[in-house]
Structure 1
Amino acid sequence: MTFDQEHALRWERLVEEFSADGLIHLTYGLAEVDTSEKPSLCADLAMSTMSRALIEQHFKHGCLAFDPLMRALRAGRLEPLAFDIEAMEMASDMLSEMRAIGLKSGLLFPLPPQAGCPVAGLIAASPLSYPQIVELLQREGQRLVARAHLFHARAAGELMRRRDGVATLTTRERSCLQIISRGERVAAAAHQLGLSEATVELHLRNARHKLGARSLPEAVARGLLYRQIDAT
């Protein structure tokens, strides 16, 4: 399975798990802050079960679907927030579409900031009424928060990789760089992987090129940023 396939499968599993609780539409994204400190969310930094065309239309000018929710995220709140779609008064194409398909409420899960993207969150919308969504949060909130954080831990780097146009590493490139990230030498990587040192060096050179790194330490740092390798 390729890295992109793993990422797609993680998203599918998240959607399936949340749908089992009545949270049938998910939008996960990272928001960047520009020089004027206004948050902007672009389509390349978002995943959603809503139509891609709608996401791109709404975000291409830095617009945000749920201003009250963005304010909650920027305020640095950590706890999940229940919201009432039926009671929202702001004008939004996405909000109109959500109402049209019967969505009435939802949950916002604030997520830890990532380098270059200080605001992150998962919005889970539902046909449940607002009182029902509040009850779901009280009953299952801890489990849902943990699941959202687990997804975010891997997905954030993938979205930033796409934003920056960085190619994915092959399995061998990732394995070689992972071993180097633990402070081990090329000889140790070759021994562990059953490869020649020349082959390991080739994989590492290719990894540096793909990650736009000038050295192995920088490649490790960028590999961690883009979640191509894991922190050890």
Structure 2
Amino acid sequence: MRLHREGNTIMLTTALALLVINGLAYYFLFAGNTTAIVLVAVVSLVLFALVVQFFRVPNRALTIHDRQVVAPADGTVVVIEETEEAEYFKERRRQISIFMSPLNVHVNRNPVTGIVKYFRYYPGKYLVAWHPKSSTENERTTVVLETKNGIQVLFRQIAGAMARRIVWYVKEGEPVEQGSEMGFIKFGSRVDVYVPLNAEVKVKLGDKMQGGVSVLAELPE
């Protein structure tokens, strides 16, 4: 396991702030009160551990398959439905949504190998991730990848109530590999994936996903 570079500044800032707080507690606020000083130290360690775990990237054997769409994020499947995709396809697609809790791994991965045919970033609100309008009103990105067979898969990084910054590493026109890092949503939220209606969905509501490993759907030949 390693720690993601997106967390470097936050982890350093958090560590320094907690050191200052513990210094103040030891020398001024609770001088001579051993119980209070130890309590502050324990709470500080727990808080720092929570921040660090947001940025962990575990070692995994990634799923690589031309016809399979892998989960772009860790989390729980909360939506599987046929819906109108109005931004890019402007027709009906199968939507699969994964909710990322603050305890999940937050790195996002490319669900298929292909070419980035479309990319857009939208600043927006920070509604809770399960709000019906979060897909269209929250801060988000939209990425469309085209496989070598000409099938297009769209996915969105969507910020939530806690997330305040979406990071991406893809550009229109560039090739990407399935399972490679495409971005990061700081402190969780949600990812939506849109596949063709004739794709075979391999998950059900409530399933726990591992980004880059779990198979969401199988594309037609």
TM-score normalised per structure 1 = 0.27
Q: Which has the higher contact order (CA 8 A, sep 6+)?
A: 2
Q: Which has the higher helix share?
A: 1
Q: TM-score, normalised by structure 2?
A: 0.28
